[in-house]
Amino acid sequence: MFTKMTMSEVFAPLKEPLIMGTAIGILVGVIAVVAGLTYFKLWGWLYTNYVKTVDHKKIGVMYIFVALLMLFKGGVEALLMRAQTAVPDNKLLNSEHYNEIFSTHGVLMIIFVAMPFLFGLFNVVIPLQIGARDVAFPRLNALSFWLFAMGAVLINVSFIIGGSPNAGWTSYFPLAGIEFNPGVNNNYYAWSLQISGLGTLMTGINFVTTIVKMRAPGMTWMKVPMFTWSSFIANIIIVFAFPVLTVALVMMTMDRQFGTKFFATEDGGMDMLWANIFWVWGHPEVYIVILPAFGVFSEVISTFARKNLFGYGSMVASMIIISLLSFLVWAHHFYTMGQNVAVNGVFSITTMLIAVPTGVKIFNWLLTMRHGRITFTTPMLYALGFIPIFTIGGVTGVMLAMASADYQYHNTLFLVAHFHYVLIPGTVFGVLAGYHFWWSKIFGFQLKDSIGKVGFWLIAIGFNVTFFPMFILGLDGYARRMYTYSAETGYGTLNMISFIGALVLALGFLALCYNIYYSVRHREELKVTGDPWDGRSLEWATHSPVPEYNFAVIPKISRLDEFWFAKKEGRDLQAGEIKDIHMPNDSAAPFWQSVVMGLASFFFVFNEIGIAIILGIVTLLFMAYRSFEIDNGRHIHVEEIEETERKLKETERQLRGDR
């Protein structure tokens, strides 16, 4: 039953010059990083400050760092795809390599870019917004991050060792089954999503608990800032949806590696059951990545329009409705599977219903800006760009929702254009807005606004040039995932335009990276106080960079946007007696447990069941150790807090005096 690969098969992907080149590049990069860390003697610093940390802010930074790395990889894949299809009959990539690239592009962008970027923002912002000292389970939080990181490592390793997933990010059976796909490619899919999915599930539980239990005194539900609300709903969806993915992936693994027939085409198996279960998770997943971004836009728009959010109650209500509706629409992903009109009719209606609460939110943002005094900063530009572009995505979504019309659009580039028009202005603009908005909270200096704006315009224009032609191509019948086409089809021109747009998008990404470099170099000039944007919610009430304990004194809340009103009334929210602060201890166990679990998954991928089981037992030992470990945390003493506060206040006074 367990087929093992020979070494030459394992390293077969390296025969491809492009992959060999990448592998050498990665090797050189790793050697450079290792040499750099050794030369500057930074290993100890890295280990104690980041590997062992349970601090939500540092974990958030690591999430965003990994997300940016993966964005680079996913972006390179996108460029390769656009380059391959830019001209007819192109020979840049062969069909197998193209399959692998579009499959990992999808997996990376959803699971390893959108999710961690959002988790990074959750980690950095939510405890600050609700006035908490950390998340509810700091150690679990570290485990979540490292499990996710191991999943990311696994999917990236797949390119070089054994071959990466090649059946699309949806990995439909029977194509993804062992019969048509005997290699390890889709084992990687199952295991890397499995361990990162476990991390995600734990994050969901962690943040639901944090938001339910750890809000500052007086912060009742209708006084919770909108980003925290939207993340709360997203985390609830995570808790309900991710177990479905876990089970589906276990069934996939059983089918591929242990000879079961859940999704087989014979012996009572049902291949379309995979599509069904996948989308039971997959559709709520869409809302998991979009709702927190909506929350970021709500914060950004209300801050830079200098008005309170219009229709707070309707925003909350529409998100709750979206969370329920998100579980009622999944079959619209396979209208053409062969079910009858009644099924398609029901799922058409539920799908169109989702446009209603989303529309409510769009109008709320527009009305928040009405009569506002808008300042055009980088985050605000992303929020403003989001509204019209996302609306195009939403309207084409309603077009796709009509089952009978979907027979025309199904599996064409029209669909590809639609979901990029939703995910990029929605999620990507959202996280980038949040990234520019909250950067100073972590580092104490801001990103250079003018470079940020250049980045925004490159991304916004590049995005439309890349994806708008795809609507037309799709209506002309260009099927998605097609690796090449002949010149007679006439698809060449629009594909070339799309490729040029992709290059502009790449320039936008370079602008983002250059901005980090520039801002770090000029950090003294870009230094700001704790409240650079004249903010409204609690995260701006503390200093930048945020001290380890977040708030010296936990503020008391009496209304929404308490900090804003406190500023108007000249109150200090952190007035009061400073007491000893209880904080969690750092621990390296989550990291090492994740390494062991990552290795176990790696050996499972290659059917090395013996080694995998031993590593699985080691994982259980880690958990047993944790159960018996006595860890009461530690205290930061009053003198230390007063000293830190004095220094931070001194810096803030200087900054205010300077400008």
Partner 1 sequence: MAQLFPKEHVLGFIGSIILTIAALSVVQFDVSLTAGLVILWVTALAQASLQLVLFMHIGETDDKGSIYVITLYSVVIGLVTVFGSLFAMIWGY
Interacting residues with partner 1 (CB under 8 A): 212, 240, 244, 270, 272-273, 276-277, 280, 324, 327-328, 330-331, 338-340, 342-343, 346-347
Nearer to partner 1, 244 or 583 (CB): 244
Distances 201 to 57, 143, 155, 288 between C-alpha atoms, Å: 19, 11, 19, 12
Cβ-contact 243, 201 below 8 angstroms: yes
CA distance 390 to 394: 6
Nearer to partner 1, 346 or 475 (CB): 346
Q: In angstroms, what is the minimal distance from the CB of 272 to partner 1?
A: 7
Nearer to partner 1, 183 or 243 (CB): 243
Nearer to partner 1, 241 or 309 (CB): 241
Contacts of 654 (CB under 8 A, 6+ apart): none
Closest Cα partner for 114 from 438, 425, 428, 508? 428
Nearer to partner 1, 280 or 554 (CB): 280
β-strand partners of 412:
479
SS3 state at 602? helix
Nearer to partner 1, 201 or 648 (CB): 201
Cβ-contact 393, 421 below 8 angstroms: yes
Instruction: Return the beta strands (E) in 551-593 as ranges.
Output: 581-583
CA distance 128 to 429: 22
Q: Which two tokens stand for residue 313?
A: 């109650």
Q: In angstroms, what is the minimal distance from the CB of 240 to partner 1?
A: 6
* Eight-state DSSP code of residue 402: S
Q: In angstroms, what is the minimal distance from the CB of 222 to partner 1?
A: 15
Q: In angstroms, what is the minimal distance from the CB of 224 to partner 1?
A: 14
Nearer to partner 1, 244 or 428 (CB): 244
Q: In angstroms, what is the minimal distance from the CB of 235 to partner 1?
A: 13
- Largest separation between any pair of C-alpha atoms in the chain: 78
Burial class (CB in 10 A: 0-12, 13-18, 19+), 616: middle
Helices and strands in the chain, H and E counts: 22, 2
Cβ-contact 208, 239 below 8 angstroms: yes
Nearer to partner 1, 328 or 609 (CB): 328
Q: In angstroms, what is the minimal distance from the CB of 58 to partner 1?
A: 31
CA distance 616 to 592: 13
CA distance 226 to 315: 8
Q: Which phi and psi (to 5°) does residue 225 adopt? A: -60, 155
Closest Cα partner for 173 from 58, 254, 75? 254
Q: Which amino acid is at 237?
A: I
Nearer to partner 1, 357 or 430 (CB): 357
Q: In angstroms, what is the minimal distance from the CB of 177 to partner 1?
A: 18
SS3 state at 102? helix
Q: In angstroms, what is the minimal distance from the CB of 138 to partner 1?
A: 23
Which ranges in 424-491 belong to alpha helices (H)?
429-443, 449-475
Distances 329 to 120, 352, 565 between C-alpha atoms, Å: 28, 9, 42
Nearer to partner 1, 284 or 455 (CB): 284
CA distance 543 to 536: 14
Nearer to partner 1, 342 or 620 (CB): 342
Nearer to partner 1, 19 or 216 (CB): 216
Contacts of 586 (CB under 8 A, 6+ apart): 48, 52, 53, 54
Nearer to partner 1, 156 or 231 (CB): 231
Q: In angstroms, what is the minimal distance from the CB of 347 to partner 1?
A: 8
Q: In angstroms, what is the minimal distance from the CB of 126 to partner 1?
A: 19
β-strand partners of 583:
634
Q: In angstroms, what is the minimal distance from the CB of 341 to partner 1?
A: 9
Q: Which long-range contacts (CB under 8 A, 24 or more apart) does 650-659 make?
A: 652/529, 652/530, 652/543, 655/527, 655/528, 655/529, 656/529
Q: In angstroms, what is the minimal distance from the CB of 123 to partner 1?
A: 24
Nearer to partner 1, 327 or 622 (CB): 327
Q: Which two tokens stand for residue 61?
A: 């930074």
Nearer to partner 1, 12 or 273 (CB): 273
Q: In angstroms, what is the minimal distance from the CB of 331 to partner 1?
A: 5
Contacts of 51 (CB under 8 A, 6+ apart): 588, 591
CA distance 503 to 509: 10
Q: In angstroms, what is the minimal distance from the CB of 53 to partner 1?
A: 31
Cβ-contact 210, 216 below 8 angstroms: no
Cβ-contact 71, 114 below 8 angstroms: no
Look at the block and give the residue holding tokens 């592998």.
23
Q: In angstroms, what is the minimal distance from the CB of 562 to partner 1?
A: 24
Contacts of 82 (CB under 8 A, 6+ apart): 466, 495, 498, 499, 502
